[in-house]
Structure 1
C-alpha cells in the first residue's frame, strides 16, 4: 500500500475512488459490480427508471454470478415472459404482436402445406395456438391451431405431412417466438427484441460492458433499444422466401462462387449462408428510407386480426404517398389512418424519415395543394414517356400494379431440392428442451430434437425478366418461383423417396410461382418489349431449360420447365399459393402478344415520343387501341 493510499484509506476515500463506476440510472449495484459500463437500455421518460432486475429478474444485490442469475430472464422480451415485462406497460401492443404474421407465420405455413398437397389455400395453422382479438376483416380468421408434427412411421396425409417437418426444421426459424438461426447475418433475439434490439451481421458486442466478450457471437451491438429498426435488422429474417429485405438493398444471392477473390485469395464471406451479387438497389433504399418509413406500426406489431397472408395485412400502397393519375396522394393507410410522418407543404409532399433528422420531397403523379380547406389537384407531373404509359394507355393504371413496370428485377430461385433424413433427428423451431430459462427456450441450442435433418439446394437462380401474372386484387403483378419443391427422403444412406413433387388440392403441380412486391423499385420502368415479346414474362417459359435431361438418374417428375407457369391454352401448370392469384389465361396471353407484334415494328417510332405531338405523329394508334381494349 503506497503513501497516498494509506492517507486516503484513513479518510475513507480509497474505497470510493477504487470502486467500479456504477451507473447512476441503476439501483442494482450487484449487477453492475460485473456489468460495469453497460448501456442504459432506454432513456425514455418511463424506461429510464428501470433497473436491471425490473426487466431481467434475478437478484440485483448478489455479486456472485450463480446467485445473481438465479431465475434470470436473458431476454425479457421473449414472448414466453413478455407479459411480465414489456406487457405491464404495453399490454395492447404485446397482445396484438402475438396475433401478427411476424408471430403466427400463417401465410408461410399455409403456402408450404398447399404446395405439399396437405391443405387448401385457407390458413388453418400457426406456430402456436392463437385466437384473434378482432374478426370480420377480409383475409382474416378467428383462430389458428399449432402446426402438426410429422411421423414417418405413418402414411402421409393432410394431418401427417412431410411439409410440416420441413417447416419445423427449416422455414420456421423466422418468427418472433424464435431466436433465429446462429450464423452471420441471421443472429437476432426473439420477441420484441427481434426488431427493437440491433444486431450487426457479425453479431458481436460493441458496447462498454466489461463483462461481455467482444469476440463472442450472438450478442447485440449494444444493450440499447432501437425505436426504428434498421434495414440490416429486418434482413436478419427477410432473406429467404421472397428475399425482399436483400432485394431492397440490391443484394441477390449468387450461385456460390464467392468472387471476386479477396486479397489473400480467399472467397468472399457469407451472409445467411449465401454469397451475394450486388445489383441495382431500390430507389427508396438509395434515398435513405428504412423499412418502417413505408410499413406501419399495425403491419409490424399486428392489430389484433389473424391475417392469412401478408397482402391482407398491408396498409399502404404506392398511391398512398405518390397518388395516381386521377387523384392526389391520400397520405393515409387503406383504412384511413393518417401517415403522420407525411405532410403537405404547399404543392409538395414531404416525408420526415423516422429516426433521422432528415426530410425528403416525395414525387407526385398528380400534385395538389390546399386552398380554403379543400385539396385541389394540379396538372400531372409526368415525363413524355410517363404520359404515354399512364395516360395515353390508361389500362396500365387500371390493370397493373405500380411495381409491375417499376421493378427492375426480382430474385428467382428455380427448383427447391429438399432432402429429409429420417435417420437423423434434428432441432424443431417450435419445441424446446424442458427446464431452464424460459426466455431462452427458442434459442437454437435449446431446440428439442423433434424434427428430422434437412438439406436444401436449387436448380439455378436468375434475376432478370421476372414473370407476370394476376394477383389477389385482379391486377397484373410480378411473379417469382416459390416454392418449387422436389422432395427426396432417405434413412441414412437408404433411399425412400426420390425427387417427388406434389399435387395441390386444386389439381395443379405443387411446383409454384407466386405474386410478389419485389422491393426493387426503379424510376426507369421495364421496357414494352420485355413484357410484350418475352414468353418467359407471359408465364409460358423460355423453352430453353430441358427438365428431362436435368434428371439423369430417372424420369423427371414434371413435364414442363421450371419457368412455365401456364400453357399456351391458358391451363395453369404450377401452383399459386395466394387466393385469387393465377397466371394469364389464353385471352390475356393473346392480347399481350398482339401488342408485342405491333411493337416489333413500331418500337423505334415509340422512342421518338413527344407528349405534345398529335397522335398520327406519335407512336402507333394501333398499339394504343390494342392496349386499351
Structure 2
C-alpha cells in the first residue's frame, strides 16, 4: 500500500507540472496613456489672467498696449509693446480716439503743463519770457548764469512729481504717468489695480501734493526738519517706513476734510482738466451761494428747500453748506481773503537753500541723509554706510530720466507753521503769503571752484496762497490784519 501511495503522488506531481508548463502566458502590461498636458492659452490673458480692465473690459489688451495678442511666446507677444499707454508720449494716439476732448483739454491744464509753477520760479530768477510746458525748460550741463542754474534745479531737483514721471521712490509718492497719474491706483509704490479709476481718490492727489505743499495741509501734515536730531522716532533701530519721504507733524486738518470731503468735492474734473476754464471756484461760490447765478460748476451741489446741499463724491454723505452770516463778512469781505481769518496754520519754510555739489564728499551730510528725495537719499546712504564701490554724484532729469552730474542738496533756515504771514496783495486784498520763492541757489564745481554762492532771485520770495487749513475764526481774528487796515497800504507781503 505504501508503494502504491508513493506512485500516485509522483503521478500527481507530474500532471501538475505539465499543466503549469501548458498554462496561459502572462498578459503583457496595457499600454500607458500619455499624460494630459494642459497648454497655456496663448496671448495676453495666458500670462496675465487676473488683469481686470474695469470699464474697459470690452477692449482687447492690444487696443491700448499694442503688442501681439495671438502669440504664446513672450518675446513675440511684446513686439511693439507700449508699457505705459497713458504716458504723454502715447496718450494722444492711444487714449485720444476715445477721449479726444479730454486729452486736448488736459494738454493745456496747469496740472499737466505746470506752467504757472515753472514760470513763477523762472521769472523770479530773471526769465523774461514764459514757457507753455515744463518740457520746454532748457537743459544745461554747466550753468553760466543764475537762470540756467535755476533751470537745472527745476529739472533735476524740483520737478519730481508730474505727468511725465512716476514720482519719487517712496511708498505713497509713486503714481502712473499721463492720464494714469490720476486715474491709476497705486499703493506701497506699486500699481495695485489695472483698471482705470473713473474718479480719483485723495490718495492719487496726495502722491504729488505732499511735502509742505497745498494738499498735505488739508490732512494736517507738516514735514519734520531734515536733520536727524529733529525727526522722530528718535530711538528705533528697526527700519522705519517714511511713506512721503520725511516724517510728518500731525497738525489740525481742514474742517472740510474732517467733514468727509475729498479734493474732488471742490476741485472737479472739468476744472482740473481745463474743460471749463471760465469757472473760477472760491469759498464764496458755496458759502455765499446765489441760486440765480449757480456759477460753481459743481455737479454735486443741489439747492433744496432754501438750503444748499453738497453730496460728497466719495461716500455720498449729504452736507448742508453754511452761508456767511457774521457781520465781519460784510465789513471786511471785499478787503480780506477768507483764510486770513479762517486759516488755522500755514506753511512757512524760510529760507530754502538748494546746493548743487559735484564733489564726491559726503561726510558733511551724515545728519541730513533724509532729503525729501529718494534719489539723493539713496546715494548718501550707500556712500556713507556701504563697503561697496561708491555711487557717482549724479541725478536724473525729472522729465527725460537722463542722469547728469551733480547732486542737489536741500535745507532750511527754519520750518514754521504757527505764525501766518499776512500781507496786502497787488490788488489791494489782504491775503496769506508763504515764502515759497525765498530760495538761495549755490553750485560747487570742485573744492576750489564755487561757481555760484547763495544767489537769490528778485523780491522777497513771498507768494500769496490759500492754505487748506480752514477752521473757525476765533475771537481775535482782527489781530491778524488790523495793522494792514491803514489808509496807506503796507508793502507786499508785510506782516
**TM-score, normalised relative to structure 1:** 0.62
Asked whether the equivalents of residues 248 and 281 of structure 1 are also in contact (C-alpha less than 8 Å), the reply is yes
Cα distance between partner residues in 1 of 2:203 and 2:238? 25
Is 1:468 the counterpart of 2:412? The answer is: no
Cα distance between partner residues in 2 of 1:65 and 1:481? 53
Choose from 231, 248, 251 the match for 2:202.
231
Choose from 227, 248, 251 the match for 1:279.
251
Cα distance between partner residues in 2 of 1:322 and 1:192? 32
Cα distance between partner residues in 2 of 1:81 and 1:119? 31
SS in 2 for 1:33: helix
Choose from 44, 49, 66 the match for 1:36.
49
Asked whether the equivalents of residues 165 and 451 of structure 1 are also in contact (C-alpha less than 8 Å), the reply is no
For structure 2, the 5+ residue unaligned runs are 1-31, 360-392
Mapping of 1:230-379 within 5 angstroms?
230-240=201-211, 243-256=213-226, 257-260=230-233, 266=238, 269-303=241-275, 315-323=280-288, 330-333=293-296, 338-365=297-324
Structure-2 change in CA distance of 1:412 and 1:31 (3 Å): same
Cα distance between partner residues in 1 of 2:259 and 2:490? 42
1:148 corresponds in structure 2 to: 138
Cα distance between partner residues in 2 of 1:525 and 1:298? 35
Compute the RMSD of aligned alpha carbons.
Answer: 3.0
Q: State the Cα distance separating 1:319 from its structure 2 match.
A: 1.3
1:310 corresponds in structure 2 to: none
Q: State the Cα distance separating 1:272 from its structure 2 match.
A: 2.9
Cα distance between partner residues in 1 of 2:444 and 2:354? 11
Structure-2 change in CA distance of 1:340 and 1:472 (3 Å): farther
Q: State the Cα distance separating 1:234 from its structure 2 match.
A: 0.6
Deviating above 4 A after TM superposition, structure 1's stretches of 4 or more consecutive aligned residues are: 264-268, 327-330, 422-425, 569-572
How far does the alpha carbon of each residue in 1:226-245 deviate from its partner, in whole angstroms, 9 at most, with x for none? Answer: 122111211111124x6111
SS in 1 for 2:174: coil
1:410 corresponds in structure 2 to: 346
For structure 1, the 5+ residue unaligned runs are 1-5, 23-28, 129-145, 204-218, 306-312, 366-381, 432-446, 539-568, 573-581, 590-629
Is 1:390 the counterpart of 2:329? The answer is: yes
Q: State the Cα distance separating 1:292 from its structure 2 match.
A: 1.0
Asked whether the equivalents of residues 418 and 486 of structure 1 are also in contact (C-alpha less than 8 Å), the reply is yes
Asked whether the equivalents of residues 262 and 314 of structure 2 are also in contact (C-alpha less than 8 Å), the reply is no
Structure-2 change in CA distance of 1:90 and 1:42 (3 Å): same
1:442 corresponds in structure 2 to: none
Structure-2 change in CA distance of 1:390 and 1:464 (3 Å): same
SS in 2 for 1:512: coil
Larger radius of gyration: 2
Choose from 169, 174, 178 the match for 2:165.
178
Structure-2 change in CA distance of 1:276 and 1:500 (3 Å): same
Q: State the Cα distance separating 1:421 from its structure 2 match.
A: 2.5
For these two proteins, the number of residue pairs brought into alignment is 426
Cα distance between partner residues in 2 of 1:330 and 1:294? 17
SS in 2 for 1:417: strand
How far does the alpha carbon of each residue in 1:262-312 deviate from its partner, in whole angstroms, 9 at most, with x for none? Answer: 8x665853233211010110111111111111012232112497xxxxxxx
Asked whether the equivalents of residues 268 and 275 of structure 1 are also in contact (C-alpha less than 8 Å), the reply is no
Structure-2 change in CA distance of 1:419 and 1:125 (3 Å): farther
**TM-score, normalised relative to structure 2:** 0.78
Could you tell which deviates more after superposition, 253-262 or 461-470? 253-262
Is 1:82 the counterpart of 2:94? The answer is: no
1:583 corresponds in structure 2 to: 493
Structure-2 change in CA distance of 1:229 and 1:194 (3 Å): same
1:482 corresponds in structure 2 to: 436
Q: State the Cα distance separating 1:455 from its structure 2 match.
A: 1.0
Q: State the Cα distance separating 1:314 from its structure 2 match.
A: 6.9
1:163 corresponds in structure 2 to: 150
Structure-2 change in CA distance of 1:349 and 1:483 (3 Å): same
